[in-house]
Each structure stands twice: as structure tokens, then as C-alpha cells.
Structure 1
Amino acid sequence: MPQNVISKCEGGMDSPNNLPACLPMSDTSWGFTVGAFALGGLAGSLSTMYLNHWFGRRDNIMIACGWMILGGILSATSINIGMYSIGRAFVGIAAGMSGSSVAIYVSEISTKKSRGALGSLFELFLNLGILLTQVCGLYMKFVPVWRLLWAIPSIIAFIQLVLLFFITVECPRRLCVEGKYDQARVALQKLRGNANVDEEFANMVAARQREAEGQPRMSMLDIILFKDRHITWNTIIVMVLQAYNQVGGIGPMSVYSVNFLTSIFNGDQMLGTDVSLANATGNIVATFIAVIFMHRVGRKGFMLISTGGMCITSIMIVVGSAAPQAAKLGPLVITAALCFTFTYSMGCGVIPWLIAPELLPMHALPPGSALGNASNWLLNFVINTVWPVMNANLKEYSFTVFAAINFVGFVFIFFCMPETTGKDLDHHHKKDRRSTIGDLESKDDDPSSDSGTTGQEISKSYVEQLDDTRRHQE
């Protein structure tokens, strides 16, 4: 919404302070600043392969807050296009880092039944952020207040940084990998309240033991070179799903929505703005539906609904905007635009952030998740950079491209995507657990056993076995 005020100087050249009233630039240059955000996201997502290993999920999100604060300040105080672009890139780095780490963090601290609903909150708050952005953009698109738009992320990131430091805990699974079993148990107990965590902690430590004994940590190169074909294939599925978080057309429908819809409605910017705000509100409603019904419909079910719905509504947008009497079909375009983002938010907006921890074992999760997020941000950059040119040439037929892309996605998901709803994050190791922990597990699972062995004692035994294994390896 503030694009023309910033890049075309529609609000005038006079500024009440020492900062420029606007930053004159061409549409291509503006597209580059949008792309700088996506390139930063690509770099941030790739860096999580190492940062999640060095610092952990929680600390990685806190580091991302620092990038967000710095990027917001640079953008808000920019005096030229270069400074503005660097600020947008820094914010992109923060988004890329947190996008990967938050998804893993939420999955790892959740229970099996609540993971889908809690994972959907990622998209819910993403959509709340978009709605906040749209509302703020509507009322702050004038000189010099537009600069405060870029300060908002810094303020929110600072609040988040404080809350993360004082309230949250590191993932228990991550702490077990580092051998910090006491801290892991305390963290798990805090997450579960008054519930008995003995069995869950025992299972968690057993899975970590199996990893320590026979499954060395994989690198990104190992996945690319098909060192483990099953893991590589699952990583490809993660990358495709992450790609459909962007490639289906949501970028043009959100980043460029006002200008795109205004052109369809014959220059009626107010109508385009109203539909854009309605889209943002519809996203929130759709995400609530996903939160409520995720465990019933399933990951695959919502992805099929999403890609199928986006394909159909893309065709409706083309029919409504390219018809000889397009003005009379305005309601069709409005309905299609609303349904497009509605169906997107139920599947493509939610599932990609849940799927990596459910398809990839712990020793392959950092590189696999980083590759998935990299495909997301790379296509974010490509789509949002190419869209102005594509729209200028194809005009009313632009969304035929997205109709075809979403159809291909529907076919891929139908035939290739496994259903992961309700799976334990450590299901990758369960087929080998009996050979790993032997009689201890048998006694724990057998309700007729009266050995008196408690879950806490089993956990302690697992830890002792794991320590012995590591000392032997050293």
C-alpha cells in the first residue's frame, strides 16, 4: 500500500526531519527490494543447518530476533535504496532463520495429538501479522509515517526476545542430543505441567540412544548424494511442500494484491484495498479451521484441498478478469480471490511448516529442514521478482500459470505424499527399539509385568547405557 509513496514520491518530497521523504526508484528496483527480503530468507534458512546444531532451536530464534531488530531499524532510517535493500535483506535473514527453527521447535515441544493444532498457530500468527501489516499500511501510507511501518517489526522482535529469554525452554529432544538429561527432563516437565513424563522421557532417550549407536549426523551433501535414499526422498517431499508455500501464487495475491486487484477492478484502488483486507481476514478464519480439524482431515487431506482449491480459483480469476464483460463478473473475481487465499491458508500455508520433523529423523532434520526452507525462499524470490514482468505481459491471463502449477502439485501430493498425522516424531527409530533396549522395553510395555520398574528408572537406565556407549566410542 505505501509503495507509490515510497518509490514514486506521491506524498511529496518535503520531509519534516533529516530523513528523505521518499526513495525514488523504478518498478524493477522496487521488485529488487522485495527480492532482497527473499534472498535474505534463503540465506537465513540455509544457515539454520549449522545454527540449529551449534545453538539449538530456542537460541536460534533469539538470534533471529536480533537480525529482525537490526533490519527494521535500517529500513526505517534508510536514506537511499542500498540501505533500504540491506535492511529488507536483514529482515529476510531473520524470517528465514525463524521460519525453520520455529517450525521444528513447535513440533518438538508438542504432544503427538496437539502437534497439528499447535503447528497451525505458526500460520495463524503469520496471517495475523499480514492483517496487521495491511491495516497499518492503509493508515500509515504517508510522509513521514511510512517509516514507522518498518520500525514495527523491531518493536515486536524486541518483545519476543524478552519473552523467549524469560519464559521458554529449549527442546527436550535437543537437550538429550547434547547429553543434558537433567535439563531435558526439567524442560519436558515444564512443558507438560503436572503430567507424568516418565514414559515420554524414556522413549525420547531411547531414540537418542539409537541415533548415537548407529546413525551419524547427516550433512546436506549426504542428502543430495542419496546416501540414504529413503531420507533423500522424504527431503524431496519436504522441499516440494515448502515450495508450494510460495509457488502456487500466494505472493502476487498478498505482496502485490492491492495493485493487482486494482488493475482488475479498472483502477478502483479502494475496492482492491478492501478485498486485500478481506483476504487477510479470511486467512485467519481458514487457519482456525485447520487448527480445529487438522487431526481429522490430516496433513495430506488439507494439502489436497489447498492445491485443488487454488487451481480452481486461479481459473475463476482468469475467467472473471479476461471475459469480454469483465466489469459484470467483478463478484466472481472477488469471490475467487477470497477463496484462493482461504484454501491456501488451510493447507499450503500450514502443512509445510509441520512436515519436516514428521518425515525426517533427528540426525537428518537440520540439513533436510534447511533444504526445504531454502526451496521456499528461493521460489519466494523468483515468483515475487518475476511477477511484475509476468503480469505486465500476460495481464488478465497471469493466473493461468498458477492454475497449472497447482494442478501439478495436487497430482504430486495425491501420489507421493505420505500421511503423517498422529505419528510420533521418533517413529523413525521405533522399528529398532526392541533390539536396542531389550528386556527393559518389554517390561515397560507388558501390563502383566510386576517387576516394579518405573519410567524414571527406565529413563535412568537408558541414560547410563547411552553414556557407556559414548565413553566406549571416545
Structure 2
Amino acid sequence: MTLIARAGALAPNGESTVEESPLLLAPSPDREASRDPDVAPHSLDAGITWACLTSGALMCLSPLQYGYHIAELNTPKGIITSCDKGAVHWASLPLCLPMNDAMFSLATSIFAVGGLLGSLSAGWMAERWGRRGALVYNSASFVLGPLLMALAMSPAMLIIGRFVSGIGSGVAVVIAPLYLSEIAPVKYRGTLNLLNQLSIVLGILATLTVGMLLNEGPYWRLSVGFGLVLACLHLSVIAFAVESPRYLWSRNRRAEARNILCKLRQTANIDNEVAGWQSIAHSDTAGEQPARLEASCETPDPDNAHELPLTGNTRNDTVKANDEDEPLELRSERNSVTIFNIFTYAEYRKPWMLVLLLQFGQQLSGINTVFFYSSSVLEKIFSSHASSILTVMIGVLNVLATASGALIVDRFGRRPLLFSSMAAMAVSVTLLGVGLALKLNMLAVVSLYLVVASFAPGYGPVPFLLGTEFFDVRAAGAGGSWALAANWVGTFMVAVAFLPLQNLMGEWVFAIFVSALIVCGVVFYFKIPETKGHTIEEIAKKLK
């Protein structure tokens, strides 16, 4: 029996159908070979195809918005809090929002509170609506937040807008890396996953650039409102990204999962890759026949690109809407792993603790205080205009260093990249503290760039990558939520404690960051395995 399925439709017999993406409609040059599993290349040996890269890039517009929002108030702080009397007045909107440092700090840090809530809810959203669907719903936060900030009539309205944008950002940085790991070929999972961190740093660079160009009069409203443009862009193109085939498989939508996987890999020889998913299917179907593993996808004919033929045993490959037994979705929810019960499963306790330490330790490295401190250090030596340009150059360096990590993470592995990054950071942060303590301004400036160059290719992206590799699809959402929650908590704690500790300890405060890098490095050396080239199921076995 052959089903002709279209996006979002049900077949007449009530069976679920394949959800299409326009990315899957382009015919492959190797179409005839890819249909024959005996001659087609194996999907476990596949590279990154255009369909895979494009889907990943489109989904990464979500963490790009996180990067934009996290730094959007840094450059325009002065014109937001104090009015330029000679500036053009826009209608009934106040020229500025006068507030003291404590109020502005609240506006900045409330973003982390929203991010924490978003991270904790992201796992549930990813399981309820899928990876792509969750980011579609999450766009509401990225639309509402910038609107509130751009039209703010009071500091309170600006703070609420930051909080709402923080919620969207928390969801984005959980789901995007999870999605990238689930669509990526095994050999290039690290490379594709670093699109997440690259998107974040591109967002930071964008907000630094926009802030510099619009750092005058009432134009700060355009700067904070630019996030609305990014949100609308993401909503307009996200339909072109496919849903994660691993997620579809876990929801017993197996025909869809196999067809999407074939298109992502550009081969029909997917048997071994799909076989590794058998243990993660969300069903307790005792006595039920296992899903058939033969390749069941065909590249659509270019003359009938709107139709996706599915072949095979439809009884096992689809979920019937009129099934008399308990629906598989209900059984899936009953047996699901959530943020509330993940640590009750013995197999998830160790990876859960490791991802918490990875993300919390990342913030204890002091990277965000370095970013916060950069402007004041640069302004001691250069003019205000020159220091703003040099701050943007830090953003450029951040992007270039992150991109370099993407090129080598699947060649040298996660462990070498992580440990070399942490070691270089320990040296760079030490030099920064020495430069500031001895008032060696040029040493301090050079150290700022060295810290960023050390962090960006390794300790920045690798914790996000490992957080998606340590959990199978059953616990991926909950594990990712906890990981990013630890990151947000660490961000908030360091931001709140840094200035009081600096007033108490002087530049010796940087010794805390260096000590954290050393302690975390030792723990990671003995506890974190190399994950390069291993499937997620194989990694899960290593961590038991």
C-alpha cells in the first residue's frame, strides 16, 4: 500500500501523514542511486547536505535573537537614562527613561530571570509541539518583548520587555542546539551544532553594531526594536525547516521520520542509523511488532514535487488516529522524562550533573564580566568613539574564533578543544587581572582580546554541544532545560556578585575565575568522555 501525503493533512483512513518541508522538494543528482539501498552510501557516513545545513541555519535564527537581546542595552545605556535635550522628540514617546544605576541594573539582569523560566519550560515545549513547533510558538516572546521596549513609556515597561525577551531567549538556546544535534550526521554533529554558538555571537555583533550606529537621541528605540525585525524574519522562513526526524520517531511517527532522514542524508540507506533509535521510541508496546527498518523513502519526482510517496507496512509505520487502544501519545506522556523527574532515573543522573557543572562552570570562568568590563577598560586609553569601535572588534573576534571552532571540533574532538580553551582562558584571565592591578593598560586591553579568543572556539560552544550529546531523545528536552537553567543562574549570580567582590578584593577577584577554571578542568578531565564520532545512544552507554 502506498500513501500520498501532504503537509498537515490526514489520510482518509485516519492515518498520520508526512509533514513536508519545501527544503525536501529539490531533486538529488543521485536520485536513482539513493533509492537503492544496495548501492546508496550509508547514512552514518553522510556529510552535511544542503537540506541539513539550511534547516539548521533557519532554526538558528532563534538563538541569533538571544545574542541580540543579551547585549542590546550595553551601548545605548547613556542615551536611555539621560536625555539629549537637542534631540528630535518622537510624538508622545518620552525622549529617554531616566533611571538610576540600580534600576538600570535590574533592567539588564531581569533578562536572566526570564531566560531561566524559558529554559525550564523549553523541554516541555519541545516535547509538546516538536522542536520546530516550539520555536514557532516561542516567536511570540521575541515579537512582544521588542515591541514593549521600543514603545516603553516608563522604566517598568522597558523592564517587562526585557523579561519577555529573556523568556524567548531561554527557550531558544535550549531547543536550537538540541535540534541541530538531532538532524546532524554523526561524523559532523559537532560542526553543525556550533551553528548555535555562531548564531549567538553573530547576534551579539549585530547588536553592538546597531547600537553604535543608533547611539544618538531617541534612536535607541530603533536599536531595541530591531529585534522585532529578526522575529518576523524567523517566522517567515521557519516553515522551510524540517522537523527533527529523531523527535518524530520518538513520537511513533516513523514513516515521517524515515522520509525526512532520507532527504537530510540524501540516501535511502538509513537502516543502521534508524536501528539505533529503536530503544528510544516512546511506546511500551509489549507484543507489538517492531517497526520495519527497510528504507522507505523516495526522492519526489520533480514533476510531482508536492507529493511524497511512502511505501511499506503502514500498520507499523504510522499512528492511526482511530486506534482503539490507548493512544501512543498518551503512553508517551505517561512515561516521559521531565525536569521534575529526570534525576530519579539512574541512567540520567551522571549526565545531568555533568551538564549542570559544564554550564555553571562556564559562567564561573568570568566571561560575561569580561564583556561587561571591556568598555570601561578601553575608555581608559581611547576616546569614546574609538573604544566603541574596538568593542565592536571584540564582537568580530568572537565570531571569527567561534567559526574556527566549528572547523576543528569534529577533527580533533570535544575534549582537546575544551581543555585547550580552558587552559588558554586561565592564562588570559590571569594576565587581565595583573594588567588591571598594575595599571598596565595595554596589557589589560590585549588580555581582553585573548580571553575572547580563548573562550569562543571551545568553552563557549562545547558545553552546549555536550549537553545535547549526553541525553537520548527521551531526556533531551529535560536535560537541555536544566543545563541552560544552570547557565542562567550562573550568569545572574556572577553579574550580581562581581562588583561587590571587586570592591572588597580589588583585582584579586579574577583569581576566583582562574580557580574555577582549574577546578572544573580537573573534574571534566576525569568525568567527561570523548563523544566525537559516536552516536547519542553510544554516548549514553558510556555515561552509565
Match of 1:445 in 2: none
Match of 1:180 in 2: 253
Give the match's secondary structure for 2:167: helix
Report the Cα distance in structure 2 between the residues aligned to 1:286 and 1:267, rounded to whole angstroms.
24
Q: Classify 1:80/1:12 alpha carbon distance in 2 versus 1 (closer, same or farther; 3 Å).
A: farther
Is 2:237 the partner of 1:163? yes
Is 2:411 the partner of 1:411? no
Correspondence list, 1:362-381, <5 A:
362-381=473-492
Runs of at least 5 residues in structure 1 that lack an aligned partner in the other structure: 432-474
Report the Cα distance in structure 2 between the residues aligned to 1:280 and 1:429, rounded to whole angstroms.
36
Match of 1:222 in 2: 341
Q: Classify 1:2/1:202 alpha carbon distance in 2 versus 1 (closer, same or farther; 3 Å).
A: closer
Match of 1:434 in 2: none
Match of 2:429 in 1: 314
Give the match's secondary structure for 1:113: helix
Report the Cα distance in structure 2 between the residues aligned to 1:112 and 1:231, rounded to whole angstroms.
21
Q: Classify 1:309/1:430 alpha carbon distance in 2 versus 1 (closer, same or farther; 3 Å).
A: closer
* Paired amino acid for 1:43: L
Correspondence list, 1:40-51, <5 A:
40-51=114-125
Correspondence list, 1:46-445, <5 A:
46-165=120-239, 167-193=240-266, 195-200=267-272, 202-209=274-281, 212=284, 216-224=335-343, 226-228=344-346, 230-262=347-379, 265=380, 268-323=383-438, 326=439, 329-427=440-538
Q: Classify 1:295/1:37 alpha carbon distance in 2 versus 1 (closer, same or farther; 3 Å).
A: same
Report the Cα distance in structure 1 between the residues aligned to 2:382 and 2:503, rounded to whole angstroms.
15
Report the Cα distance in structure 2 between the residues aligned to 1:136 and 1:371, rounded to whole angstroms.
32
* Paired amino acid for 1:310: M
Report the Cα distance in structure 1 between the residues aligned to 2:121 and 2:83, rounded to whole angstroms.
37
Report the Cα distance in structure 1 between the residues aligned to 2:518 and 2:388, rounded to whole angstroms.
29
Superposed CA deviations along residues 45-96 of structure 1, whole A, max 9, x for unmatched, are 0001211111111111112222111101111111111110110011111110
Deviation at 1:260, TM superposition (A): 4.7
Q: Classify 1:416/1:208 alpha carbon distance in 2 versus 1 (closer, same or farther; 3 Å).
A: closer
Q: Which has the higher helix share?
A: 1
Report the Cα distance in structure 2 between the residues aligned to 1:122 and 1:340, rounded to whole angstroms.
20
* Paired amino acid for 2:433: V
Q: Classify 1:258/1:430 alpha carbon distance in 2 versus 1 (closer, same or farther; 3 Å).
A: closer
Match of 1:460 in 2: none
Give the match's secondary structure for 2:186: coil
Contact 1:246 1:376 in 2 (8 A): yes
Contact 1:11 1:142 in 2 (8 A): no
Deviation at 1:284, TM superposition (A): 1.3
Deviation at 1:202, TM superposition (A): 3.2
Runs of at least 5 residues in structure 2 that lack an aligned partner in the other structure: 1-74, 287-331
Q: Classify 1:128/1:65 alpha carbon distance in 2 versus 1 (closer, same or farther; 3 Å).
A: same
Q: Classify 1:397/1:236 alpha carbon distance in 2 versus 1 (closer, same or farther; 3 Å).
A: same
* Paired amino acid for 2:489: L
Contact 1:68 1:90 in 2 (8 A): yes
Report the Cα distance in structure 2 between the residues aligned to 1:10 and 1:398, rounded to whole angstroms.
36
* Paired amino acid for 2:375: V
Deviation at 1:392, TM superposition (A): 4.6
Q: More deviation in 312-321 or 103-112?
A: 312-321
Contact 1:5 1:11 in 2 (8 A): no
How many pairs does the alignment contain? 421
Superposed CA deviations along residues 15-67 of structure 1, whole A, max 9, x for unmatched, are 23211111111111111111111111000000012111111111111122221
Q: Classify 1:212/1:348 alpha carbon distance in 2 versus 1 (closer, same or farther; 3 Å).
A: farther
Contact 1:38 1:381 in 2 (8 A): yes
Contact 1:307 1:410 in 2 (8 A): yes
Report the Cα distance in structure 2 between the residues aligned to 1:330 and 1:256, rounded to whole angstroms.
13
Q: Classify 1:261/1:393 alpha carbon distance in 2 versus 1 (closer, same or farther; 3 Å).
A: farther
Match of 1:468 in 2: none
Alignment RMSD, CA only? 2.4
Q: TM-score, normalised by structure 1?
A: 0.83
Deviation at 1:259, TM superposition (A): 3.0
